């Protein structure tokens, strides 16, 4: 299909109702959809497709994975890409979204498309659950319309998903682990102030986490 044809079909496609919430960050998201299409030469008939799009849990593409995407840039490409990735870590944050269409059924309704759209829209808007979508599109373009809708949902959800992952330190797991180690060390220092028997464990953890040199003066002050 030519690009001009695709653009024309997309120009005739519109999302009437979209899900009220973004795609889930830490799990899969199921969206029930209605695709309403006119039938050529049958003005009083509408083809209605119903189904479900499942968006899998977003996968993190780390800066390290991006560093493998440079090829043909010379012998030093790997070293250069590692340097670039470390400087552009925030900008290189990315998520991979995967979608699956399932349970689709098709029926022809003895109503014109505007009436079908209005009726379904009213049903969706009256419900509190908001994981439903209503899309009007040309009959032959339903796969294109559904794919574009899915990708648009990922674009809409991306800022929320990134913010949720960032709050848990999942983009920089090394930093998150170090933060946990430091919280554990601080808790052990507090315990050691009241119970000297904790000092042995504290010293062990400082060496295990490679933090002894940093906390050496504070640790030795107990003696």
Contact 81, 70 (CB under 8 A): yes
pLDDT for 30 beyond 90: yes
Task: Give 68-103 pLDDT, tens digit per residue.
Answer: 555 555 666 566 656 555 555 555 567 889 999 999
Residue 210, C-beta contacts closer than 8 angstroms, at least 6 positions apart: none
Domain boundaries defined on the chain: 3-56+97-167, 59-93, 173-220
Reported as a single tens digit per residue, the pLDDT across 33-78 is 999 999 988 889 999 999 999 999 998 876 556 555 555 556 665 6
Task: Choose among 101, 91, 202, 214: nearest CA to 150.
Answer: 101
State CA 120 to chain mean position distance.
28
> How far apart are alpha carbons 216 and 210 in whole angstroms?
11
| Rounded Cα–Cα distance for residues 151 and 134 (Å) | 15
For the segment 20-33, the average pLDDT, to the nearest whole number, is 94
Q: Among 58-62, 85-89, 115-119, 166-170, which is the least confidently predicted range?
A: 85-89
Q: How many CA atoms lie within 13 A of 201 on its CB side?
A: 13
């Amino acid at each position: 299909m030519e690009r001009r044809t695709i653009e024309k079909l997309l120009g005739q496609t519109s999302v009437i109702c979209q899900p009220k919430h973004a795609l889930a960050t830490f799990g899969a998201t199921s969206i029930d959809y209605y695709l309403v299409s006119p039938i050529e030469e049958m003005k009083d008939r509408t083809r209605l497709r119903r189904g479900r799009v499942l968006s899998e849990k977003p996968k993190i593409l780390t800066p390290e994975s991006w560093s493998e995407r440079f090829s043909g840039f010379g012998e030093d490409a790997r070293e250069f890409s590692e340097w670039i990735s470390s400087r552009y870590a925030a900008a290189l944050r990315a998520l991979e979204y995967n979608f699956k269409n399932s349970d689709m059924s098709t029926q022809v309704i003895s109503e014109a498309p505007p009436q079908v759209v209005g009726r379904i829209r009213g049903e969706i808007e009256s419900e509190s659950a908001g994981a439903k979508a209503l899309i009007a599109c040309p009959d032959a373009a339903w796969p294109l319309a559904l794919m574009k809708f899915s990708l648009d949902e990922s674009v809409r959800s991306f800022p929320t998903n990134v913010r949720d992952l960032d709050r848990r330190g999942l983009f920089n797991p090394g930093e998150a682990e170090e933060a946990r180690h430091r919280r554990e060390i601080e808790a052990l220092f507090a315990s050691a102030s009241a119970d000297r028997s904790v000092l042995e464990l504290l010293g062990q953890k400082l060496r295990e986490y490679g933090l002894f040199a940093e906390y050496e003066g504070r640790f030795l002050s107990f003696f």
